[in-house]
Structure 1
Amino acid sequence: MLAANLLNEVPALHFGIQQLFAPRDECISEPAIPHDFLRPSQWRELGVEMAGKGINAAYICAALSLNRFELDALVREAGVSLNRAPLPQNTTNHSWCFGDLARLTRQWLAGSPIKNIASSLGRTVRSVKSKRAALGLPPRLLASWKEADANYLATEWSRGTPIRHIAAALKRTVRSVSSKRRRMSLPALPGAIPTDPSIVLTWEQASRLTPDERCGRRWMVKDSPSQLVIGFKKNRGARKSPMVTAWTQEMENELAYRHFANQAPSAIAEAFLLSERTIVSRSSWLHLPRRRKKELRADYDPTIAPIRIAELDYIQRECLGKTGFFFWTPRRNGRRISRRHKQSQIMRSAV
């Protein structure tokens, strides 16, 4: 009776008794190592590699959960010098603590998606990438292409499936699929995508191209009642990324009507073939109202936009400080000067 109560109330004791009476073969077997922890041989190699890159000893110990004696023994055996410089004393609210370094290392080596890592640590994806490089952790290598994936790519490409849909089905980036298509010497669908940059592409044709391949090209917006045409500049921006041509009044009106029609930002970005970040940023400049997530939809119904505008009592008004720039504001007690003009260099110099 007493033994039964102990087993029920103390799970650790139950586990120990089971191990005590377990067969000998099970007792001497190696314990299972969770997938998110490194094996001894792996963290030893990684610790020596990080020390060889000049990473501070305190950061190595925090990232790999080592003590100084273990790290000293490793580098002494490998013949690598250890960086023992004192850590900077000026810390901020955004400084990385040792616990976050350990969690970042464990999740990164376990193969967790970088977005999940950033969400669990409460940081941005760019911050996680930067700290990963600073710690000297090995970069993520793309998985090799399987024969079934290559056959799927060849089949769907011959059917004219957009490259974005193929990439989503294979769980790869558009650039990866496009590179594999060129290595497989698959035809670029002659006749479907004109090579003349002066020709306006359809949305289906433009969606088969990567953002880099769309530089200097123009295409039609998906499901646009006015058949809106947008494009990328021929030259890249400061970050070597494609840049959209100057936003016209027609482009902003199309974006605003899709916003009032409760179309999701990701769906708007897919229709424009732009990044979701660009769509959200431009919506902020236009002072478009916030929406509930449960009301967002993937399709676009142009008839909803006028109804929503009337319900919210919004109007389009020209900025008094920036001629030619129109933004959306409530009819009563609305803004007269846009946020864009308030943050411009003209207003900063006037203060």
Structure 2
Amino acid sequence: MKTKVIFMAVILLTSVALSGCVSNSAGEEKKGGSSSSDSGPVSAKSAVIIVTDDIGREIPVPYPCERTVFLVENAMNSMYAVGGADEISGIGAVWYEDTKAPFFRAIDPSYDEKRLSRGSEQPSTETIATADPQVVFLWASDWGSEDIKAIEETLNTSVYGVYIDSLDDLQRQMKTLSKLIGKEERGAEVIELMNESMEKVTDVTGALSPEEKPTVYWMWGDVYGTAGLNSTANDLVERAGGVNILNNWTNETKNVEHPVLNLEALLALDPEVIYMWNNENLDPVNITSGDTVDGIDFSTWKEISAVKNGRVYEISDPFVYDFHSPRLPLAIMHVAKDLHPDKFAALNLTAETDQYYVDVYGVHYPGFEPA
């Protein structure tokens, strides 16, 4: 069975005292030291800079930042990509660590020493304190996050709220991370590598006529949960040469990140393609065969065009094709080859993946041997 990765998990934390840099809530005046906005260049004399996190909060961070703790795995992948291995002092939950640990060990020899917990469990704040973080990264969707509030008020350190729902968000985050650690040139280099890789697909899909682009239902693990029009998965589908079926939906929730449909709505939308996020309990054949899985009778889907024509696909490896990380271009290639097999028949995904890992992480894939 396939491995299921939950990368949008909300981080649950308890609160205790922790030493680090002094934090202020967004909008408050920073006290002491010099500062620099993330909208301009950083002075070498700056003791502290102000950066904007993914949810729009301005936070003070020592510059260059030398000690970061990641309680969210996707952003940690971005930090590694921009050359920040030495600046990671602590690592929280890693889902399905047995599968991913060889990669992390290959790009960071100190990975095991930095682990603050095991598996998908988050460390206690007492344990986080041992990493002496200057900034903590955690998943948060809004300013009212109780997790952010708890850390900022009790741990006395800045918190960077991680939230990605578009390609622009991802690349903006990477620019900020590279700035924090004083490696902006590397950040720009990785973003350029991403763009060049994506252009191998978008140069083709951008020339397609509307009639050549199939309508796509993106299926998350909850089956009727899908990709809203303002989401990274929507960007993925569009760049790969598809059209999100929600463009034809009149429900006002179509613009949120993760709207939920029902059977009636899905049948009415009648997508030409169904694209599944990796699911350990469900395979495309279960849908096309009309099986009943986890209480859902997929025989009721038999009149959907995607099912009738056998066009149900799945992200084959949720780690390699994690599109909330710098590996987004590989996911675009993966989806494009399924949506337009004739136009991308010559695209060697195995070779592209290996070269991308070499360029971004300095290791080969698979095997993670040094490049």
TM (norm. structure 2) is 0.23
Determine which structure has the larger strand proportion and give its number: 2
Name which structure has the greater RCO, CA cutoff 8 Å, separation 6+. 2
Rg bigger for which structure? 1
Determine which structure has the larger helix proportion and give its number: 1
